[in-house]
Structure 1
């Protein structure tokens, strides 16, 4: 109990509007890290009552399965986490506006959704934290970019950072850079998985068993990541250290360069950021409709 009461979130009530994998990752980190008591967390979704019962059973959180419970949870919450799909965001946030208090901290995990659009949908300035976590949050190794509205207090900032530090690391950035965070780390795990797919497939084609190729790939990616983290060295320098002149690694790197590997990766990250902006523009357009 002492761990809960010492946390900035220890006395906060939190409402998750949306019960997807990211919401689950966040409140699992809070519950398992003893940063707040599970009965202080309420979770709702559009209509999947079975999903809410599953989360109640697994974590001890409160599932708001009917309109009365949803409205009560929203009105009483200190923190409201918006986790609906981008295509549903405008209508859903607009419907929440009459139920929310001006002092509640609004935390958005919706890709592409600008703070100004949330304020427009809610009808005025609010304390808002716009966040971009990634799926590694589900195992406590997430990377989350965070931007704050002008109405956010130091207490709100502390609450937000505590929430996402529970599932990994956080980086506070100016809002125009959130799309860059999306491109680098928000979608970043998928790039690494894609690389791992190719490594495993190549290993199998060279004669390794699928199991051996998978195990070797996993350990290689894990080890490379830890080398960067533990040594503090630049990845480019570490790459140079393992690339002997005219050796096998140099042959591999030159082949990657012949396929414009780095250029392709850069373009992929830029396109990801652009797509986030496109999603935001679509939500803004929907928000402007009467």
Structure 2
């Protein structure tokens, strides 16, 4: 794993969870020695720091069957150029960077290296991730399946065409931020109703957890579950009318479109 920032760290934590069986050790690279030390907390992880080990990335990928690129999008091509000659034929290279196409990565690689794009999200940290994967032109079904098996260890996985990977990023990749934004405003609104910060957080947090679990367990879709709570002429109906008055459908369409547009801008950068 090249780079273990927010997303890479979430994936690594998920892979280290009890009961997860994968080939070990996992070699990770970081920029600083301090960061590397924090990752190498057990024998299952070998951490190399570029700060003290200039060839960290090249050494890390030698002999690896699967390499995850977890660096920022604008660093992907530089890292691929750096490690290209050290990748073993048959290696599967997985990029989790938004806005970096498989074709642009493949153009920098020797023959025999498969490229798969993956768009996980931060709940992977606790084994509840959602990942979309898309094989590039060089990826065989077995290569995509290997990537699927990896991310299945930290949550659910769907396979899409690469044309939809930016949409996956907009919906589930960034999705936790939308949920946290909702929680943030609900907690603040509850505090303005007189609850303490602790009470407000508990009210909202448990409501979100319980509602998400109910959605996961129920055969009903979210629209029906909402109707189950919304008695005609009741208090919930009145609140829903206020919320729907701001046309949430159009708002989400605009938000997702803005997210996808930013991914497309990164592709063209």
Common fold by TM > 0.5: yes
Q: Is the 8 A contact 2:64 2:88 kept in 1?
A: no
Deviations 1:136-182 (A, max 9, x none): 11111110000012432344233211210111110111111111111
Q: Which residue of 2 aligns with 1:22?
A: 7
Runs of 4+ in structure 1 deviating by more than 6 angstroms, as ranges, are none
Q: Do structure 1's residue 119 and structure 2's residue 103 form an aligned pair?
A: no
Give the 3 Å change call, closer, same or farther, for CA 183–150 of structure 1 in structure 2: same
Q: SS where residue 97 of structure 2 aligns?
A: coil
Q: Is the 8 A contact 2:3 2:71 kept in 1?
A: yes
- Tell me, in whole angstroms, the C-alpha distance in 1 between the residues paired with 2:23 and 2:103: 32
Correspondent of 1:56 among 40, 43, 57: 40
RMSD (Å) for aligned C-alpha atoms: 1.8
- Tell me, in whole angstroms, the C-alpha distance in 2 between the residues paired with 1:91 and 1:70: 11
Where do residues 63-212 of structure 1 align in structure 2 (5 Å cutoff)?
63-65=47-49, 66-122=53-109, 126-212=113-199
- What residue ranges of structure 2 are gaps of 5+ in the alignment? none
Task: Tell me how far 1:31 sits from its aligned partner.
Answer: 3.0
- For this pair of structures, how many residues does the alignment match? 265
Task: Tell me how far 1:126 sits from its aligned partner.
Answer: 3.4
Task: Tell me how far 1:116 sits from its aligned partner.
Answer: 0.7
Greater share of helix residues, 1 or 2?
A: 1
Q: Is the 8 A contact 1:31 1:38 kept in 2?
A: no
Report the TM-score, using the length of structure 1 for normalisation.
0.85
Q: SS where residue 67 of structure 1 aligns?
A: coil
- What residue ranges of structure 1 are gaps of 5+ in the alignment? 1-15, 283-290
Q: Do structure 1's residue 261 and structure 2's residue 257 form an aligned pair?
A: no
- Tell me, in whole angstroms, the C-alpha distance in 2 between the residues paired with 1:235 and 1:143: 18
Task: Tell me how far 1:262 sits from its aligned partner.
Answer: 2.7
Q: Is the 8 A contact 1:21 1:138 kept in 2?
A: no
Task: Tell me how far 1:221 sits from its aligned partner.
Answer: 0.9
Q: SS where residue 131 of structure 2 aligns?
A: strand
Q: Which residue of 2 aligns with 1:44?
A: 29
Q: Which residue of 2 aligns with 1:12?
A: none
- Tell me, in whole angstroms, the C-alpha distance in 2 between the residues paired with 1:207 and 1:268: 31
Q: SS where residue 130 of structure 2 aligns?
A: strand
Task: Tell me how far 1:97 sits from its aligned partner.
Answer: 1.8
Q: Report 1 or 2 for greater relative contact order, CA contacts < 8 Å, sequence distance ≥ 6.
A: 1
